[in-house]
Amino acid sequence: MSKHVIPGFPLSPPTGGREAEADFRLLRRLPQIGEIATGQAHRPVRLGIIDTETTGLDPTTNELIEVAISMMTISADGGLHHIEEPVCWLEQPSLPLEPRIIQVTGLTDDDLAGQQFDDHDIADMLWRCDVLVSHNARFDRAFLARRFGGLIDKPWGCTATDIDWLSHGLGGRSLGHLLYEAGYFFDAHRAGPDSWALACLLAGQASDGRTYAAHLTDAVRMISHRIYARRAPYQVKDRLKARGYRWDANERCWWIDLHPEAAGAECGWLLELNAQISPEERRITAYERYE
């Protein structure tokens, strides 16, 4: 089986046959582990690419039922050095699965009966990671923090928000849509295939020839500034949401993360938006960005 570098995203235009007429598009299954070419690593960075399945969306009341981790090592310049197939674990929840969760994940109560996470193996894999990566880091981190505590107190990268996909010619953010635009398909909605799909996506070449993993680690290293719109009145909430602000239930405040160079102008915009707003600025690193 010959090895190859995963093609850049999006794929090059077809050069012949009916596909060149644009009446259809060819999708390829994601490559297997032996088909991906790797190189030497200089000052390697080890990424733990995580996906989870849960019994619902609320980490305070719902539970993890599946965890998968794919290990990827890249060099300091982002070149791919090593990649491993995902390792998966299952755990039986305290309550039977709801029909919707069975439909979404494909897991059943029989699949999970008697299953328990191997805490030692999971802890070992997490300990070996320099950076933890997820396509929805805020969601996965919250569930993992409840189940595994301080083991996930590491820098986190979120491929849904930390990579500017649009600048590389990809218009979506969902994992399935990004891979579709890249010309690939995969069996979604189980943690193992989703983790592998994300690993393959990160190993792909962006429009500048660097891997997407390199762009992700650039974002992880960056210190952002979180702007809180303290005392913002209710009537401006739609303006804040339209600008990208999110609601923090603990802080009871709207907030947004920005590049440090944009923070000053954003505070000025808030003051112009409403005189009641008292902007607050905090420096945020990848350790707390997705808490």
**Cβ-based neighbour number of residue 1 at 10 Å:** 8
Query: Are residues 176 and 65 both part of a single domain?
Result: yes
pLDDT of residue 42: 66
pLDDT of residue 151: 92
E-only strand ranges, 198-242 = 224-230
Are the CB atoms for 147 and 171 separated by under 8 Å? no
Q: Is the pLDDT of residue 32 over 80?
A: no
* Percent above pLDDT 90 for the chain: 73
From residue 150, how far is each of 46, 137, 268 by CA, in Å? Answer: 19, 16, 37
pLDDT of residue 140: 97
pLDDT grade for 4, boundaries at 50, 70 and 90: very low
Query: Are residues 95 and 58 both part of a single domain?
Result: yes
Q: Is the pLDDT of residue 7 over 50?
A: no
Instruction: Quote the mean pLDDT of the chain.
Output: 88
Segment 51-91, tens digit of pLDDT: 999 999 999 999 999 999 999 999 877 888 889 999 999 99
Query: Are residues 104 and 202 both part of a single domain?
Result: yes
From residue 22, how far is each of 25, 30, 144, 195 by CA, in Å? Answer: 7, 22, 44, 31
Whether residue 89 is contained in a domain is answered as yes
Tell me how far the alpha carbon of residue 251 is from its chain's centroid: 24
Segment 175-228, tens digit of pLDDT: 989 988 888 888 777 999 999 999 999 998 898 989 999 999 999 999 999 999
Query: Are residues 173 and 237 both part of a single domain?
Result: no
Number of domains observed in the structure of the chain: 2
pLDDT of residue 38: 65
Cα(48)–Cα(20) distance, integer angstroms? 38
Domain holding 170, by residue range, is: 18-220
Model confidence, pTM: 0.86
Phi, psi torsion values for 276, nearest 5 degrees: -75, -20
| Count of positions (residues) in the chain | 291
Whether residue 176 is contained in a domain is answered as yes
Q: Is the pLDDT of residue 48 over 70?
A: yes
CA angle, 36 as apex, 9 and 78 as ends, to 5°? 65
pLDDT of residue 3: 34
